[in-house]
Amino acid sequence: MVRKIRISFAALIFGLGLQSVSAQTELNANRGHSHNDYKQSIPLLTAYQAEMGSIEADVFLRNGELYVAHESSEIREGATLKKLYLDPLIEFYKVNGNHPYANPKLKLQLVIDIKQDYRDVLPTLLKEISGNPEVFNSIKNPNAIQLTISGNVPKPEDFKNYPEFISFDGRPYINYNSGELKRVAMISDDLKNYTAWNGKGNPTKTDEVKLKQVIDKAHQQGKNLRFWATQDSPNTWIVLERLGVDWINTDHPDKLREFYSHKEKLTYTNPVSYPVYTPTYRTDGVKKRAKNIILLIGDGMGLAQIHAGLMANHGDLNISRMHNIGFALTSAADAGNTDSAAGATALATGHKTNNRYIGMGPDNLKKTNLVDTLFGRGIKSGVISVGDVTDATPAAFYAHQPDRSMNNEIAHDLLQSKVEILVGSNQKSFFKNKDQNLISGLQTKGFNLINSLNDFKQQSAGKQLVLVPDSATRAVLKGRGDWLKQSLLHSISILSKNKGGFFIMAEGAQIDYGGHDNNLPIVITELHDFDKTVEAALRFADLDGETLVIVTADHETGGLTLLDTAPEKGMVRAAFSTNDHTNIAVPVFAYGPGAEDFKGMYQNNEIFYKIIKAYKLK
């Protein structure tokens, strides 16, 4: 009966897709050592599914059988090494075509930590595996499961008295001769013998030297090294890896696997930095009217995203050169966490609203936005997004709908908007709108319809509706180029001809995409693209002398945490706590006339009124 249960359990494991998971072995998930594995709620299987390369079981001999437990007082009926480890591993090995894992590149060692006299335990262990010698005989079969004996082990000179396929867990303070060293599978020791480091931050330089010495000695002997009694956290794993430790000790194999299996999405290196612009600061904070205002919104861009971009650009950003800095609180009217619809509506109308609402208050009434307000004062506006132009952030500046998903209705609202230039993707919502007269209606309103950035650059005046194919607003990593920066520069060239001044909102939409996908390379490359657009705005502000530049976000996305940075290399390593928005306050940077008014901490809808004040409008 027990045998049948184990077979069905093995079938279940493989049915869950273990083989497909194994495809990511290059991300080092197989470097984990499942410490005291029998303490897992599901011994062996938790570590096995996490593809640990090393699994440890402490054993005691009772009545001729080996039991797994940390202390003899913890021995419980049925918890034998054979039942919990040996028999399932033998079965998995055979199901995998004589490999420990479905992925033949993955290796596995079973570490038996003997808690009693090895002279009693080892003969019993050899007897228990005698029926399947090929599974554990790594001498004859390089694909076999490596058996490594730890804890109470024979003296090095007695290693030769045991079968060659039995290896031993060595210690750095023992001087092995060449024959003995061949029987050592790895070198292990207690981390506390070398440092008081608790896993937070880094060890002291003195302790690092001690750790490196023991690691380097093991490597010179051709052996992998493991420390036990290490803290179990991403920071610890990163430091141990950087020091050169080969086996990462863990009591949480599933979390370690998660950490390594997403390494490509959580690590980014930018070998060559781009230059940043140093503003003149001549008009920065000057108390005079701003004729023009450029509002740059990094969708999903919190402080962690900015700092990640800073480190990846070797310690500098155009954004970081701005001196007037504040913080905006982003909660929606109906929730602590805002979405882009409520967040952008607060910025565009000065009213907090419910999530998903576009240009409407929680009272379900339309709220006048900046674009329409400023038009009545002779100020013309442009709205740009490096994404869907009917999506929440750009839509809040020209539309009024009770749900952000109403793309057709949002597109239709352009007929009533005073916006002069609208740039972004999503041709479908306009050209295949349920109102078949939408396009002709927009043309009647004076819009020139354009479907490429190159054609847009040929225009020098008039109202422009630039609807590019979705492929044109693909990610920077997929070759979009400086589309956002060029769109801003040409919008400025058209709108700056207006004697009354202009207002432009330009959105770095895809920083948010990277946050939702928990993809650090996307977050950073999109932020760098956005930062280069900030540079263009700052340069224009210096040349013009009457332009205020504001840089902020509608919310933070992803709960980004930076685990490790090396600005000299442009390297960032991170983790995300969610795939959604968070309630973290977002920074507000300002440069130019009236910039000082954006210092401090305030609700996000206050930015609307600060913009009105900067124009010296009532």
Residue with tokens 């210096």, as numbered in its chain: 542
Distance separating alpha carbons of residues 605 and 603, to the nearest angstrom: 6
Task: Report pTM.
Answer: 0.89
CA 265 to chain CA mean position, Å: 6
- The 10 Å Cβ neighbour count of residue 263 is 14
Which pLDDT score, from 0 to 100, does residue 583 have? Answer: 96
Q: Residue 56: enclosing H or E segment and its boundaries?
A: strand 54-62
At position 125, the amino acid (one-letter code) is L
Which pLDDT score, from 0 to 100, does residue 195 have? Answer: 96
Which pLDDT score, from 0 to 100, does residue 53 have? Answer: 96
Distance separating alpha carbons of residues 304 and 310, to the nearest angstrom: 10
Distance separating alpha carbons of residues 396 and 418, to the nearest angstrom: 13
Residue 219 CA neighbour count, 13 Å, CB half: 11
Is the alpha carbon torsion for 238, 221, 213, 571 positive or negative? negative
Q: Model confidence over 535-545: pLDDT tens digits?
A: 999 999 999 99
Which pLDDT score, from 0 to 100, does residue 139 have? Answer: 84
Which pLDDT score, from 0 to 100, does residue 170 have? Answer: 98
Which pLDDT score, from 0 to 100, does residue 141 have? Answer: 87
Residue with tokens 């402490």, as numbered in its chain: 58
Which pLDDT score, from 0 to 100, does residue 28 have? Answer: 64
Tell me the pairing of strands 547-552 and 292-298.
Answer: parallel
Cβ atoms 592, 284 nearer than 8 A: yes
Strand ranges inside 99-234, DSSP E:
109-114, 146-151, 166-170, 184-190, 224-228
For the chain, how are helix, strand and coil distributed in percent, rounded to 5? 40, 20, 40
- The conformation of residue 51, written as its DSSP 8-state character, comes to T
Residue with tokens 């410490």, as numbered in its chain: 35
Distance separating alpha carbons of residues 618 and 602, to the nearest angstrom: 20
Which pLDDT score, from 0 to 100, does residue 332 have? Answer: 97
What secondary structure does DSSP assign to 554-596, as a single string? S-EES-EEEEEEETTTTEEEEEES-SSEE---EEEEEESTTGG
Residue spans of the chain under pLDDT 50: 1-27
Residue with tokens 């933070």, as numbered in its chain: 556
